[in-house]
A and B are shown apart, each in its own frame.
Chain A
């Protein structure tokens, strides 16, 4: 049933609340971070109906948080955060999503754009050649069963041991690139079969590697601390746990269908299927989810290694310093056990973020030592051909959004309409004319990701910033895009 704007109460300049009186099955309210325009965008698709469904799940605390970049997904909307009370609250595989630990890695450099400009076309080609992408893309690393189990347990630490990472990469990765407690024994043989040849691959869809220039700096001290300088190149890598994570989620969404019935959980949508966190089913999923998360951390690490090799191949000897250093690596599809204050009382919670980024404020545990005074970097890729943003978490997120912020621009146009309105080849030519080199495996896939299919990322960031759920550090402009 469509929801009307009048059903929301404006409780802050950029915060709207839909109370539990809207639907008798809601157990907590829904809180949307938006201005008038973004709320109206969200009301055009089923995002907020999906958020209402989430609010009907058992064991939730506080409210369901909806980010300014929200859009319709499956089950939980993309740009949604829910927190369940432990140990009795639920965990929901579909509410974390099929691409477990889909996330973003940002690498900075000391390469001035003007020095690299003559080589950017070669750089785009090298990245496309060296970083396997597209449907069915296989990586250069083929894992034995025993090695895959190690990747599941160790995440990016496995890559460090194998020579694909530097110590400081791990220090600048959420969870240090390794979630403790992953259990390969909770992962199906089929998931392992899919994962064995996919490490170090980008995949397809909205995943990409982008070469960018730091276009504008809003906080010079913070940008310097992150290793970002205006006019210098950066690289952004967006991808997740590939078929390995997709299969793990598929397996557990299927097996939880029976579990939810056994535990007497009423579901407004079967994709929101869940089980008590402390049940054998809940624990099994959580340890398998962590295995997928570690696979994804390792996957982005290998892609970062390949990006470094590509930069070296093309720029060595042509610019004074062609190295790429890691700024940070974040996840935006994940379930995590965290402690947050709700109503002035600290609660241990399972925070589900689907299309939302952890955005801890300064001083909070879990941040690298050198970022502790700053807060967590929040990496927000824009749509292809538009700006991306580097933000920092704030104290407000800890009080209002379970330490979370937005994750992207957010779609506004359906894929069907984008394919109808945009021709991939024409889009590629437009982007090239704007100085953005494009290497893409699929032109129809490119069309679906057209900038016009997304919200204006600068507008989304303005609302995020004004709402206080992250603060601006730098804006990045793309100069080369590699897509599967």
Chain B
């Protein structure tokens, strides 16, 4: 089953994500964001990227993690896949992904917002809903 789903939002994009662990939730959120943006990679050299984020809680880390990939997409013209989280604490994150040249990107995501953002623990793991400004 796809671990994310676009849900109704009048002006922006809203992405509901669920996963068995927080680490998987971060990975699925990044995958979902690129899927929503209609990202397609072109054949070309792969580039491995690692990132580290520091923030005051898990929600802020999630925003920073997603924002970091958007920034790299804009600056490098790459789209990302193969996301992984190596370390996740309540205030720090390290992880990475593989970047390839963007062949197609249907939509510009301006920002990842904090709007009603909360990572909830569920019986199956964790879930959250992220609103992206487009």
- A-to-B contact residues, CB < 8 Å: 45, 47, 71-75, 78, 94, 97-99, 134-136, 190, 193-194, 203-205, 243, 246-247, 249-250, 253-254, 257-258, 269-271, 273, 411-417, 442, 444-445, 448, 484
Contact = CB atoms under 8 A, between A and B. Distances in A.
B115 A194 contact: no
B128 to A, nearest CB: 13
A37 to B, nearest CB: 16
B8 A416 contact: yes
A205 B71 contact: no
Interface string B48-77: 000000011001100110010001011101
A193 B73 CA distance: 13
B4 to A, nearest CB: 13
12 contacts: A72-B11, A135-B107, A136-B105, A205-B110, A246-B110, A250-B67, A250-B112, A253-B113, A254-B60, A270-B59, A444-B38, A444-B106
Contacts of A71: 10-11
The 5 closest A-B pairs by CB, nearest first: A74-B115, A270-B114, A204-B108, A271-B115, A98-B111
B9 A94 contact: no
B47 interface: no
Nearest to B111: A98
B42 interface: no
Nearest to A419: B6
B11 A73 contact: yes
Contacts of A78: 11
Contacts of A135: 105-108
Interface residues of B, number: 37
A415 B13 contact: yes
B75 A193 contact: yes
A263 to B, nearest CB: 15
Interface of B: 6-13, 38, 55-56, 59-60, 63-64, 67, 71, 73-75, 77, 102, 105-108, 110-117, 131, 133-134
Contact of B114 (A45, A99, A193, A273): A273
Given A72-B9, A94-B115, 20 more contacts: A47-B10, A74-B113, A135-B105, A135-B107, A136-B77, A194-B71, A194-B75, A204-B107, A205-B107, A247-B71, A250-B67, A250-B112, A257-B114, A258-B56, A271-B131, A411-B10, A414-B9, A415-B10, A416-B8, A417-B8
Given A412-B10, A415-B12, A94 B114 contact: yes
Nearest to A250: B111
B74 A243 contact: yes
B10 A72 contact: yes
Contacts of A273: 114
Contacts, number: 113
B11 A442 contact: no
Majority SS at the chain B contact face: loop
Nearest to A44: B10
A247 B53 CA distance: 16
A334 to B, nearest CB: 16
B10 A205 contact: no
Nearest to A240: B110
Contact of A136 (B74, B111, B114, B131): B74
A281 to B, nearest CB: 15
A135 B134 CA distance: 11
Contacts of B75: 193-194
Contacts of B108: 134-135, 203-205, 484
Contacts of B73: 136
Contacts of A448: 107
Nearest to B105: A135
B134 A194 contact: no
A75 B12 CA distance: 12
B133 A416 contact: no
A190 B67 CA distance: 12
A74 B133 contact: yes
Contacts of A193: 75
A74 B102 contact: no
B11 A416 contact: no
Contacts of A134: 108
Contacts of B112: 250
B56 A99 contact: no
A445 B107 contact: yes
Contacts of A73: 10-12
A193 B107 CA distance: 21
Given A136-B102, A269-B116, A416 B7 contact: yes
A257 B131 contact: no
Contacts of B131: 74, 271
Nearest to B132: A74
Contacts of B115: 74-75, 94, 269-271
B114 A249 contact: no
Contacts of A414: 8-10
B6 A416 contact: yes
A267 to B, nearest CB: 9
A258 to B, nearest CB: 6
A74 B60 contact: no
B119 to A, nearest CB: 12
A270 B119 CA distance: 13
Given A74-B133, A135-B108, A415-B12, A194 B64 contact: no
A416 B131 CA distance: 13
B113 A94 contact: yes
A414 B134 CA distance: 12
A240 B8 CA distance: 25
B100 to A, nearest CB: 15
